[in-house]
Amino acid sequence: MEVKRLFDLLDRYQEELPDKTDVFSGKEDGIWTHYSVKQYIENVNKVSYALMALGVTKSEKIASITFNRPEWNFIDMGIQQIGAIHIPIYPNISDSDYQYILNHAEVKYIFVAGEEMYRRIKHIIANIPSLKKIYTFRNLHGFEHLNELMELGANNPNEIKLKKIKDSLTENDIATIIYTSGTTGIPKGVVLKHKNIISNFMAVKHILPYGSEAKALSFLPICHIYERMLNYLFQYCGISVYYAESIGTVMENIKEIQPQIMPTVPRLLEKIYDRILYTGRKLKGFKKIIFFWALNVGHKYELYGKNGKIYEFKLKLARHLVFNKWKEALGHLDLIVSGGAALQPRLGRIFWAAGFRILEGYGLTETSPVIAVNTLDFKGTKFGTVGPVIGNVEIKIAEDYEILCKGPSLMDCYYKEPELTRQAINSEGWFHTGDIGKLDNGMLKITGRKKEIFKTSFGKYISPQLLENKFKESPYIDNMMVVGENQKFAGAIIAPAFSQLQEWCEENEIPYTTHIEMIKHPEIKKLFTKEVSYYNQFFGDAEQIRKFELVDTEWTTESEDLTATLKLRRTFMSKKYSCLIEKIFGN
């Protein structure tokens, strides 16, 4: 059947896979709970009936603050079926952002995961005049539970009214407003209609080589459009969605459920690769030699047999001796979709060499989100690119190399921000992505972020992302921020990969004390000087890092150094590390 509104996915399930027993699954208190098609539809309708009983009407805003869980889908579809608007909010943003979003959207009801999520907002509740009630996914003293809301719905069914409302809704109605976390400034509410999101997953559905027999593991924030669109895509294809307990349990959950598909961000792949390197370094003698020989073979991998028969023989041997163990550890995992940030080409090569198919894509919240993505078609993937532009989207490269796009997945507007909308979408309907890129034989290549590119005092332009992505290939560099606007040279603030650093110290018989002490140790300074010198050779003189400073903590969303999609919050960090930056440039 045709899907015109997102909640039409329920009717599609009822028609195509009525007996499916694990549409969604979540693990809580050590037990996996599965939801069938029948349970999914019943729970969604109960939420709709309850919201109607509470007097919720079309276009009213209802927020959710939670980590991924099956119940998110019940409220998401339940809200949409009555024409209300779902405002999903990241679970780890600042107090000021919570207060701004809840007030800006004039939210009437909030669903929170539990005690931890409630504590994040309880002190600002009095400052949200539109708020009527808070519901929780877990029982909390003094608050109504989701089950109580669904009981209200079960006791107040109104099929005729619900059908009338659903029939009145079209693809041009607003489905959601997603507030972008942003690297600077206040959050912006991206208004997305049903047709925006549906057109996007319909344009990429052909890429998935699986149907209802497959499982997908979900751990990225479902409140972000990247994971959310895929969540709908999986439903369209009948693929079961299993929600990981947390990012820390991903490897364990993979072993438990044996998924074929996993959306991820490059950061997790970097962590997995670093863990593999750590294991390899612990090996002794011939095993260690074979391990690093296989790794070297993997780093030279080219798609479609371009390296020739001799290389393919070496690859076959490397897979038999080393890479098959990676496959065994990750079970049936076959397809990894990477987005949210640039994937280092070396990671793409090594995972493909090991037998995992990684498809890197690119998009923004404003484009629902996919603009381009690599595919499984012959010559549909190219390392270092985000693949071909999807079929229903147009792009053009502006004179300053900014990527512009238009298509049915483009947002309606920024909520309550007509001037910002006019700045983003020109009079001809082209959306300014803010990203710099080029087309490489039909494949889109992202080369930087327009606002992040800076100029040295000698007039040389530097794209920080290009340098940062290359330098992070070092096993000792967890993260890095390139600085140097209007300065004579480029410098960097480096967050070491402390687990790798501890191992290096152990191998070199250097007693490891604290992070603070170790980043000042002369031998560690020499190590990082050597690493910086090595990666500098990949860049021209004007781009090379001349001076750097180490910090004693890794950067996380909790420390507010990274956005929810793990991008650097450069403005915030430039203030936080202003003293180190001044030290680099001798000011």
Any alpha helices (H) in 330-448, and if so which ranges?
345-353, 418-424
Could you tell me which residues are beta bridge partners of residue 414? 190
What was the pLDDT predicted at 86? 98
Coil, helix or strand for 223?
A: coil
Any alpha helices (H) in 338-388, and if so which ranges?
345-353
CATH fit for domain 264-449, picks 3.40.50.12780, 3.10.129.10, 3.40.50.620, 3.40.190.10: 3.40.50.12780
What was the pLDDT predicted at 525? 96
Q: Which burial class, exposed, middle or buried, applies to 160 when counting CB atoms under 10 A from its CB (0-12, 13-18, 19+)?
A: exposed
What H or E segment, with its residue span, contains residue 20? none
Query: What's the Cα-to-Cα distance from 518 to each of 63, 352, 523, 530, rounded to whole Å?
Result: 44, 36, 9, 16
Tell me which fold the domain 8-169 belongs to.
Rossmann fold (3.40.50)
**Integer Cα distance of 357 and 372 in angstroms:** 17
What was the pLDDT predicted at 335? 97
Could you tell me which residues are beta bridge partners of residue 480? 494
Residue ranges in the chain whose pLDDT is less than 50: 183
Amino acid letter at 330?
A: L
**Integer Cα distance of 296 and 294 in angstroms:** 5
Q: Which burial class, exposed, middle or buried, applies to 403 when counting CB atoms under 10 A from its CB (0-12, 13-18, 19+)?
A: buried
What was the pLDDT predicted at 141? 64
What was the pLDDT predicted at 341? 81
Q: Are 24 and 241 in contact (CB under 8 A)?
A: yes
Amino acid letter at 252?
A: E
**Integer Cα distance of 124 and 98 in angstroms:** 8
Order across the sheet with 394-397: list the strands.
394-397, 402-406, 431-440, 443-449
Q: Are 12 and 2 in contact (CB under 8 A)?
A: no
What was the pLDDT predicted at 182? 54
Structure pTM? 0.88
Torsion angles phi and psi, residue 392, rounded to 5? -100, 15
**Integer Cα distance of 534 and 214 in angstroms:** 43
* Contacts of 225 by beta carbon, 8 Å cutoff, 6+ apart: 178, 190, 192, 197, 363, 365, 368, 369
Instruction: Give the closest residue to 338 by CA, choosing from 264, 389, 238, 262.
Output: 264
* Contacts of 252 by beta carbon, 8 Å cutoff, 6+ apart: none
**Integer Cα distance of 546 and 540 in angstroms:** 12
**How many other C-beta atoms are found inside a 10 Å radius of the C-beta of residue 363?**
24
Instruction: Give the closest residue to 386 by CA, choosing from 359, 408, 352, 350.
Output: 359
Place of tokens 């009936």: 49
**Integer Cα distance of 210 and 257 in angstroms:** 16
pLDDT digits (tens, 9 = 90+) for 319-353: 999 999 998 888 899 999 999 888 889 899 999 99
The widest CA-to-CA distance across the chain, in whole angstroms, is 75
Q: Which two tokens stand for residue 329?
A: 């550890």
CATH 3.40.50.12780 residue window(s) in the chain: 8-169, 264-449
CATH class held by domain 454-585: alpha beta
pLDDT digits (tens, 9 = 90+) for 51-98: 999 999 999 999 999 999 999 999 999 999 999 999 999 888 888 899
**Integer Cα distance of 255 and 45 in angstroms:** 34
Q: Which two tokens stand for residue 569?
A: 């919050």
What was the pLDDT predicted at 181? 67
